[in-house]
């Protein structure tokens, strides 16, 4: 265990995945008090900050500049700045940029604090009716290389697993899950969590595939797929 050596601190601040009312009071207070906010997309971030009257300076921090931007951020933290990292929606680092910066902070003994808050996978899991005492979070599958290997791995798990998926690849993903898991594996497909058109489709993989093949117009927004484990009851 190493002792943190600097007065600067990195805050990981979850932002709403849909309903702006899901932001916490503590998150708003933190975003107002820090010296700088790093955002995945500054245009999206500005909408959120303006809504809550937050005027803190904003810099871009995304997957395309995370490597080269980390060194500058570390320098500012060492100099005593307080910096908050936010993603477009949810908790930074969960299928969004953040890991590289947090690791660099830990290596440099800079304090890191993650505030509790919004993430899509937990509401999707808990509302699914599928066992949630033990689960595996995969996030987004690789688009090409390694995709089938990951699907085979997931199909053999004896406990619930969770995927994120794009609306453009949902039908294909369900077809692939049926190929590896079989058509009768219980699943839940959740869309637009916390938004006005939130929906949860519960049934076998085959039933969910047929539902979305019939209702292609419904395939919009962020999607979470929850699948029961192999031989799980």
Domain ranges of the chain: 9-114, 121-227
Per the CB < 8 A criterion, the answer to whether 114 and 10 are in contact is: no
Hey, how many other C-beta atoms are within 10 angstroms of the C-beta on 202?
16
- Euclidean distance between CA atoms 102 and 111, whole angstroms: 9
Looking at 3.40.50.720, 3.40.50.10140, 3.40.640.10, 3.40.1010.10, the CATH number of the domain 9-114 comes to 3.40.1010.10
Specify the fold of 121-227. Answer: 3.30.950
Alpha carbons within 13 A on the beta-carbon side of 73:
31
- pTM (2 d.p.): 0.89
- In the chain, what is the greatest distance between 2 CA atoms, to the nearest angstrom? 58
In angstroms, the Cα distances linking 157 to 138, 163, 231 are: 12, 13, 9
DSSP-assigned beta bridge partners for residue 114: 12
From first to last of its 233 residues, the chain has per-residue pLDDT tens of: 455 778 899 999 999 999 999 999 999 999 999 999 999 899 999 999 999 999 999 999 877 777 778 889 999 999 999 999 999 999 998 888 889 999 999 999 999 999 999 889 999 999 999 999 999 999 999 998 999 999 999 999 999 999 999 999 999 999 999 999 999 999 999 999 999 889 999 999 999 999 999 998 888 888 999 999 998 76
């Amino acid at each position: 265990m190493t002792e943190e050596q600097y007065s600067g601190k990195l805050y990981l601040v979850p932002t709403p995945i849909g309903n702006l009312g899901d932001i916490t009071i503590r998150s708003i207070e933190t975003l107002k008090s820090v010296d700088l906010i790093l955002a995945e997309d500054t245009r999206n971030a500005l909408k959120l900050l303006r809504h809550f009257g937050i005027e803190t300076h904003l810099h871009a921090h995304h997957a395309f500049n995370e490597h080269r931007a980390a060194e500058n951020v570390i320098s500012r933290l060492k100099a005593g700045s307080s910096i908050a990292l936010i993603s477009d929606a949810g908790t930074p680092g969960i299928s969004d940029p953040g890991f590289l910066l947090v690791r660099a902070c830990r290596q440099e003994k800079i304090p890191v604090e993650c505030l509790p808050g919004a993430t899509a996978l937990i509401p999707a899991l808990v509302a699914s009716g599928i066992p949630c005492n033990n689960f595996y979070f995969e996030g987004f599958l690789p688009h090409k290389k390694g995709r089938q290997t990951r699907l085979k791995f997931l199909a053999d798990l004896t406990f619930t697993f969770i995927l994120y998926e794009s609306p453009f690849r949902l039908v294909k993903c369900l077809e692939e899950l049926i190929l590896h898991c079989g058509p009768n594996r219980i699943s839940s497909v959740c869309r637009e969590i916390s938004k006005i058109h939130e929906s949860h489709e519960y049934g076998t993989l085959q039933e969910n595939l047929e539902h979305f093949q019939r209702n292609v117009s419904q395939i919009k927004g962020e999607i979470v797929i929850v699948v029961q484990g192999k031989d799980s009851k």
